[in-house]
Amino acid sequence: MESFEVLSNLFTVGNSFSIIFGVVIGLIIGMLPGLTANLGVALLLPVTYGLEPTSALLLLVSVYTSAIYGGSFPAILINAPGTSASAATALDGYVLTKQGKFNTAIRVSTFASVFGGIVSGFALLFIAPPLSMISLKFGPAQYFMLAIFGLTIIGTLSSGNFIKGLIAGTVGLFLSTIGSDLDSGYPRFTFGFSALLSGINFVPAVIGLFSMSQALILSEDPLKTIQLNKYKTEMWKFLPKFIEVQKVFLNCCVSSIVGVLVGILPGAGGDIASWVSYNEAKRFSKNKVEFGQGSLKGIAASECANNAVTGSALIPLLTLGIPGSTTAAILLGALLIHGLLPGRELFTTYGDITYSVIWGFIFANLFMGMVGLLIARYFGKIAKIPNYFLAPAIIVLSVVGSYAIGNNIQDVYTMVFFGLIGYLMRKLNYPPAPLILGLILGPIAETGFRQSQILAKDSLMVYILNNNISLVLFVLTIVSILSAIYLEVTKKTNYEKDIS
Amino acid sequence: MKRVYLNIFVGLLLGFISLSLLYISSNFPGTSKNFPMTMLLLIFLLSLFQIIISIYRFKTIKQNNFEIKKISLIIFCLTFVSIYLMQFLNFFGSFLLFFLSGIYFYRIKNLKFYLFGTLILFLSIYLVFEFGLNVSLINREFLG
């Protein structure tokens, strides 16, 4: 694909507006403690129905990356990470704020986030196309194993609770079977409800699980207000200083590599990357004592890594259909809505869309830094929005968003139902991400399963595992399950040790 | 209720539901039953495993009491009622009532901010969805 063609396709009015709107909305969502990138992407998913695929995907990836960056503001200024990925940032950032050096902390976190985001964008640009060649070798057996592997690994890593993650994922796979069977037309688990014949639409389910349930959580503490440190906005100096950049540059290079590698692993999101990167920066630092005492390198390591995840999490998504993070799982839904199937075709037939989105993602990261520094001084006002307004506002947007999918009230009821399920799941420590992934991957897994059944002459298991790719995926699935069991057992042993 | 009891309860509930649905799906024709039956069997086995783990850890897990706040359930019910009322009052009328009832249930004191925020939100929804995306939020015929 010609670079000029991609750039001319990218900078249309619609696409540019998508990036600007996505960055601003993402930053505001990230700045509000309690609101996550998942919520932002889920809420905006229905808005993208009326857009061109390029504009739609640009909007969503811009929200994703800038929400992760926006999370660093409350982490630094009020010690309340806006997203879980910014938890490590608070360790040093808040210390600097208490010392009156919030300017420096924000400038370094902005530079690191933009650096990490751009590196991950280029990683996506260079790694994804050759990796997508593997998808050409995929048949029914491989797709079936891939769906199972993707589900196991995201179920394992997303919550740290292996069994609950697996249960949620399997329930999602089961829910995907509700509706008319595609082969025989037989209504499965509809119990006489004609609305269920077409199956469960995953977009209202996503909105319910991530947005509506979050609004119910926020409702629990409606009068919660944020205690802001007194800092004068007129003192705001937002231009990064050369000496600060020089101090953390090497650190950013290493952390962005860590972030890219962690992001490629399915299920391992920004929070894991930021902690791994923070620990590595501390381990290799000559001055370990400064970490936790307001270290600029600590802030850079955490922020660079969590933004480096955003692009690389899209690599397994675009090439094989395995989301690298929870938000990427929702983005998988967005791809399918616009008729784009992950795999080689995304880089050939739909190359104009895919490359425009990747380049747009890189520009969004650059733009995010500029907008972030400009609106940082208004953080106080944004963070002060109380839960008693946020919660009903999210509910209203969830209702209108799910209704907008097809002007259909059934979708709104589906959203509300999944909102309650999501709320109970959060309360019971069941991760909602595997459920939604199961719902999305279900049809792919079932089609692969049934085609394999037809093609298998002898045993189904022998047919599925009778090729190298399936065998590798099978081994990886077993390894992921065993490692999760090991983690569960060691967690229990450690807990018993703590008690004793 | 303590989380450990709840884990056992949820495990039992999931096990019961999956067994019931397994029975139902066994009557499906041809190959249409294979995949759902496999998934239901998996859910049953995992629920069993969840119960065993919870019993095994009965003594070690004793913190984290489970609590659902009344206000969340009230807001959920209000949402449900508002969706139902959409067919009579249209989206804006119904959810304006939802927002106004929020003043009472959330015990809001800063009414100026709340009402101004509501106005801005509704205006944005109208401009983006009704005007921009042609979503029919006012015409009640579509909301039934």
Q: Is the pLDDT of residue A405 over 80?
A: no
Q: Is the pLDDT of residue A170 over 50?
A: yes
- Beta strands, E only, A245-382: none
Residue A216 to residue A394: CA distance in whole angstroms: 9
B61: in domain? no
Q: Is the pLDDT of residue A83 over 70?
A: no
What percentage of chain A has pLDDT greater than the value 70? 88
Please indicate, yes or no, whether residues B124 and B81 belong to a single structural domain of this protein. yes
**Helix-, strand-, coil-residue percentages of chain B, each rounded to 5:** 75, 0, 20
DSSP A189: S
- Kindly report, residue by residue over A262-315, the tens digit of the pLDDT: 888 766 667 778 888 888 888 888 777 788 888 888 889 988 998 998 888 888
Tokens of B73: 């359930």
Is B106–A184 a contact, with Cβ atoms under 8 angstroms apart? no
Give B60→chain A minimum CA distance, Å: 7
Q: Looking at the complex, does the CB of residue B53 fall below 8 Å from at least one CB of chain A?
A: yes
Tell me which chain B residues have a C-beta less than 8 angstroms from the C-beta of A400.
91, 125, 129, 135, 137
**Domain count across chain B:** 2
Please indicate, yes or no, whether residues B52 and B75 belong to a single structural domain of this protein. no
Please indicate, yes or no, whether residues B27 and B83 belong to a single structural domain of this protein. no
Residue A495's pLDDT band, with cuts at 50, 70 and 90, is very low
Which residue is associated with the tokens 């022998």?
A462
Tell me which chain B residues have a C-beta less than 8 angstroms from the C-beta of A446.
35
CA distances from A415 to A205, A493, B91 (A): 5, 40, 16
Residue type, B37: M
Please indicate, yes or no, whether residues B32 and B95 belong to a single structural domain of this protein. no
Please indicate, yes or no, whether residues B42 and B75 belong to a single structural domain of this protein. no
Per-range mean pLDDT, top range of A348-357, A459-468, B2-11: A348-357
Instruction: Identify the bridge partners of residue B2 per DSSP, sorted by sequence position.
Output: B65
**Helix, strand, or coil (residue A188):** strand
pLDDT at A499: 46
* A307-325: average pLDDT: 83
CB A11 within 8 A of CB A367: no
ipTM, 2 dp = 0.90
Task: Residue B132: give the domain boundaries.
Answer: 70-142
Give the mutation candidate from B40, B135, B138, B140 for the A interface (greatest A CB count, under 10 A).
Answer: B135
Residue A421's pLDDT band, with cuts at 50, 70 and 90, is very high
B63: in domain? no
CA distances from A295 to A245, A289, A298 (A): 13, 9, 5
Tokens of A332: 């998988």
B90: in domain? yes
The residue among A493 and A409 whose pLDDT is bigger is: A409
B77: in domain? yes
Please indicate, yes or no, whether residues B44 and B79 belong to a single structural domain of this protein. no
Could you tell me how far CA A72 lies from the centroid of its own chain? Answer: 16
- Kindly report, residue by residue over B2-50, the tens digit of the pLDDT: 666 788 888 999 999 999 999 999 888 888 888 899 899 999 998 998 8
Please indicate, yes or no, whether residues B37 and B89 belong to a single structural domain of this protein. no
Residue A113's pLDDT band, with cuts at 50, 70 and 90, is very high
